[in-house]
Structure 1
Amino acid sequence: MRKRAALAVTVVVTAALGVPAAASAQPARCRLEPSAPTTLPALSATRLAAAVGDVPVAQGGLPDAEASGALAQIRGTAGCWQGTAGIGDVRTGGDVPQNGRFRIGSMTKVFTAAVALQLVAEGSLDLDGTVQQYLPGFLPADFPAITVRHVLTYTSGLNGIGVPHKTPAWFFEHRYDHWADGSQIDVTKPPSFTPGKYQRYGNVDYWMAGLLIQKVTGHSWEREVHDRIIEPLGLRGTTTPGDDPRIPGRYSHGYEATDAGWVDVSAANPSLQWSAAAIISTPQDLDRFMVALFSGRVVPPVQLDLMFTIPPGTTTYDGDQDDTNNPAAAYGMGLGAFQVGPLTVWGKTGDRPGYANAMGATRDLTRRLVFSVNTLHMGGDQPVRARQIIGAAFS
């Protein structure tokens, strides 16, 4: 299969499609059938394999024009499954490793929110305290009061610097640039709306959260995430890389499809993303983190409830003056609520060039999904492959 996969990659890069790599075998005691009574839809191995791309290319498998590879892992008492498909490394022809590392992108925000809420529980941060109080002089004097609550619920109205970091031309020129902590926040622009009035998802609030964590602890954001979450939970495949452009250990390479073929985009300095989107992790680690978080072993119950609470009466800011057409707000502190048919799944998506990922679970943890799709075109909408995996897992 490795030889066949390597041949397939060679054919893909020269403009045709070949046979995908086989999915990994199921782990011991991983059973498709539920281990406890459940009302969730039954898992279908055939449907899941097709969703992740572990079928011949001619039947919709990987690699294809959208993605080079994918992995998915489902856990919980409502059934267990895992699989991979496509090409993990063009150079060697290697498969996608089932528990390989990947850049988790904005799933980092859940880690940052958890650390901030631990500090709230400890009394080091006050949700109604202001950025101006904790970081005097950072924001211009004429800015309105922006609270920690505004920051963690994406309702501050603050603006980021706005570089096109998900476009190929910008990425290839700046992929190894260093960004100082907080330099990603544009303090020359006033908030786009009155803080607390709307919700606007983005990185800027979680860059600010990183600064607040550093200010009240006296330690780096990286150290606090490591000492409070990574080390206590034994997340051996999870790192906060700082300026290191490499992905350590085994991982599925990310590529960008260009006129000259696939270009490896796995290596990049993640300091631009920092406390909003820089972490590297694995499916097993992210599942362990979800279980610990949802179970109340990371954040105390009072603060944990805030992660599952969407600010009441808040709509999503869409930039126009007509509030009647605003979508409903969808995020608590760090976590988002996603409807899959009648089912509410709590979790977070994330993407970086070459990677589009998500982790999500039912609130009772009976079904949990972690997946990563190696996209071939950075910065687009959620890949069709990702939507197929979510649908096969939850509907």
Structure 2
Amino acid sequence: MTNPAIAANGLRKASEDKIVLDAGAATPGVAAPDSGAVPKAAAGQDRPELQKAVQAFVDSGFAGLQLRVHDQRGEWVGSAGVRKLGESAEPPTNGQFWAGSVTKTFTATVVLQLVAEGEIGLDASVAGYLPHLGLDRRITVRMLLQHTSGLFNYTGEYYDDGTVVAGIPATGKEWVDNRFRTYRPQELVRLALSKPARFAPGTDQNYSNTNYTLALLLIEKVTGRSYAEEMQRRILQPLGLSGTVVPGTRTQIPGPHAHGYYRYQDADQWKTTDVTRQNLSLLAGAGDMISTTHDLHTFISALMGGELLPAPLLAEMRTPHGKLGYGLGLFVQDLGPDCGGTVLQHNGSPPGGYGALMYSSPDGSRTLTASLTTGDAAIDLAQEFPKALEKLLKEVFCGGQAEVADKAEPAQ
């Protein structure tokens, strides 16, 4: 979600997995995260510049934001705005939220662990593992993780000439009316395969949720276990990520959380609805997880620190490719020599109500993780979000001094 084209009310285009709200039914056996009440000293009252950067999002029209920063000065947590419209309480500083496309980094990590174990070949044909789908045999596992497969994005495609090819409803009134519908991963992939490919495999790059739903199916086929089980076994349990959930078809956020809202047009009227509850099976493996700022920090810090992947595969993951500057499940962003150099990031924005930020220095020692929610304000997201994000990145990675390059990236 962090990136340029953040359309109308979805913090991005319909062709990607927008910025949505919160989800449903409680997850058995998953401990709810703490409420996020933090003593003022721990909340970093000595760093007013960070609180000011957080407030800038609210001032631009967002309902609320929670932020966690780890750097050479230690940990800082804070929030601004409201937890729920019409109330005065701020968002919980370790509340759960729909994490959107941050999920892709988790999915890529599991696939690369299987590569390390010799269960999957990074440059092997995906069709060899999933022969029943009728995939182009030229599409490799690497192409899925790198968004170079050419496969149609099942949430819709926007072409350079202005043509729009609809997919599964992921914006507007149609999404609002269908936001509790359950989709099966195979259904999502088959819809994508019923549409023309954007380009021949490996010849270009296009951000597509289809790639990561296929990665989910690949994980399940190779391991013989569900995606949720493998995620729990390989990442969530070892790292103690008790606030992170693979919800499946559940529609509720199980722990403390801020509410997310979606503003959409119904005939000639603009309406705002609470979309905290939603069914993100729409983005299976690509954008359906629930998490916390604490868990995202723990995950990205461990990943960058070499705890989850062997060094050669971590290096592959962090090597940018193509016009998106995308590695294997990560964006590689250059902030410039005066601003900490390179950061690794993946942000997320489900269809409505929520957004997530996850940034790290290459060694994992400096991280920024956040969640924001949209409310009932009419925000010019294409203008306001990048400005507020730039200010925040400057404070965390540039000491508030150097300018962050205005580099356009695809909405996530």
Q: C-alpha separation between the residues in 2 aligned to 1:189 and 1:61?
A: 38
Closer/same/farther in 2, CA of residues 364 and 52 from structure 1, 3 Å limit? same
Residue 340, structure 1, aligned to residue 335, structure 2: yes
Query: Please, which of 79, 85, 90 is the counterpart of residue 90 of structure 1?
Result: 85
Deviation at 1:106, TM superposition (A): 0.2
Q: C-alpha separation between the residues in 2 aligned to 1:287 and 1:253?
A: 22
Q: C-alpha separation between the residues in 2 aligned to 1:248 and 1:379?
A: 31
Within a 5 Å distance, the mapping from 1:70-109 to structure 2 comes to 70-90=65-85, 93-109=88-104
Deviation at 1:71, TM superposition (A): 1.1
Q: C-alpha separation between the residues in 1 aligned to 2:224 and 2:239?
A: 23
Residue 146, structure 1, aligned to residue 145, structure 2: no
Equivalence for 2:225: 219
Q: C-alpha separation between the residues in 1 aligned to 2:245 and 2:380?
A: 23
Residue 66, structure 1, aligned to residue 61, structure 2: yes
Q: C-alpha separation between the residues in 2 aligned to 1:303 and 1:273?
A: 26
Residue 135, structure 1, aligned to residue 130, structure 2: yes
Q: CA RMSD in A?
A: 2.5
> Which amino acid in 2 is paired with 1:357?
A
> Which amino acid in 2 is paired with 1:226?
Q
Equivalence for 2:148: 155
Query: Please, which of 121, 124, 127 is the counterpart of residue 126 of structure 1?
Result: 121
Deviation at 1:204, TM superposition (A): 1.4
Q: Is the 8 A contact 2:63 2:85 kept in 1?
A: no
Q: C-alpha offsets along residues 135-191 of structure 1, whole Å, 9 cap, x if unaligned?
A: 113025xx3511111111111111122236442212211100110113222112343
Q: C-alpha offsets along residues 317-352 of structure 1, whole Å, 9 cap, x if unaligned?
A: xxxxxxxxxxxx311111111233432110111012
Q: Is the 8 A contact 2:332 2:345 kept in 1?
A: yes
Equivalence for 2:236: 230
Q: Is the 8 A contact 2:44 2:78 kept in 1?
A: no
> Which amino acid in 2 is paired with 1:151?
L
Deviation at 1:364, TM superposition (A): 2.0
Residue 303, structure 1, aligned to residue 302, structure 2: no
Residue 180, structure 1, aligned to residue 184, structure 2: yes
Q: Is the 8 A contact 1:75 1:369 kept in 2?
A: yes
Q: Is the 8 A contact 1:79 1:367 kept in 2?
A: no
The higher relative CO (CA closer than 8 Å, separation ≥ 6) is in 2
> Which amino acid in 2 is paired with 1:392?
E
Deviation at 1:76, TM superposition (A): 2.5
Query: Does the residue aligned with 1:75 lie in a helix, a strand or coil?
Result: strand
Residue 268, structure 1, aligned to residue 268, structure 2: no
Query: Which of these two proteins has the greater Rg computed from alpha carbons?
Result: 1
Equivalence for 1:47: 49
Count of residues paired in the alignment: 337
Query: Please, which of 239, 249, 258 is the counterpart of residue 252 of structure 1?
Result: 258
The TM-score normalised by the length of structure 2 is 0.76
Q: C-alpha offsets along residues 370-394 of structure 1, whole Å, 9 cap, x if unaligned?
A: 0112123799548243333223222
Q: Is the 8 A contact 1:87 1:93 kept in 2?
A: yes
Closer/same/farther in 2, CA of residues 127 and 289 from structure 1, 3 Å limit? same
Gaps of 5+ in 2: 1-36, 157-166, 399-412
Query: Does the residue aligned with 1:182 lie in a helix, a strand or coil?
Result: helix
Gaps of 5+ in 1: 1-22, 33-44, 54-59, 317-328
> Which amino acid in 2 is paired with 1:73?
R
Q: Is the 8 A contact 2:301 2:363 kept in 1?
A: no
Equivalence for 1:365: 364
Closer/same/farther in 2, CA of residues 61 and 169 from structure 1, 3 Å limit? closer
Equivalence for 2:295: 285
Q: C-alpha separation between the residues in 1 aligned to 2:215 and 2:236?
A: 18
Q: C-alpha separation between the residues in 2 aligned to 1:30 and 1:65?
A: 23
Q: C-alpha separation between the residues in 2 aligned to 1:260 and 1:222?
A: 37
Closer/same/farther in 2, CA of residues 379 and 300 from structure 1, 3 Å limit? farther
Identity percentage of aligned residues = 36
Deviation at 1:257, TM superposition (A): 3.7
Deviation at 1:284, TM superposition (A): 0.7
Equivalence for 2:3: none
Q: C-alpha separation between the residues in 1 aligned to 2:329 and 2:216?
A: 13
Q: C-alpha offsets along residues 65-116 of structure 1, whole Å, 9 cap, x if unaligned?
A: 6310111110022553221001102365432100101111000001000000
Equivalence for 1:17: none
Q: C-alpha separation between the residues in 1 aligned to 2:101 and 2:144?
A: 15
Query: Does the residue aligned with 2:349 lie in a helix, a strand or coil?
Result: strand
Equivalence for 1:349: 347
Q: Is the 8 A contact 1:214 1:221 kept in 2?
A: yes
Query: Does the residue aligned with 1:334 lie in a helix, a strand or coil?
Result: coil
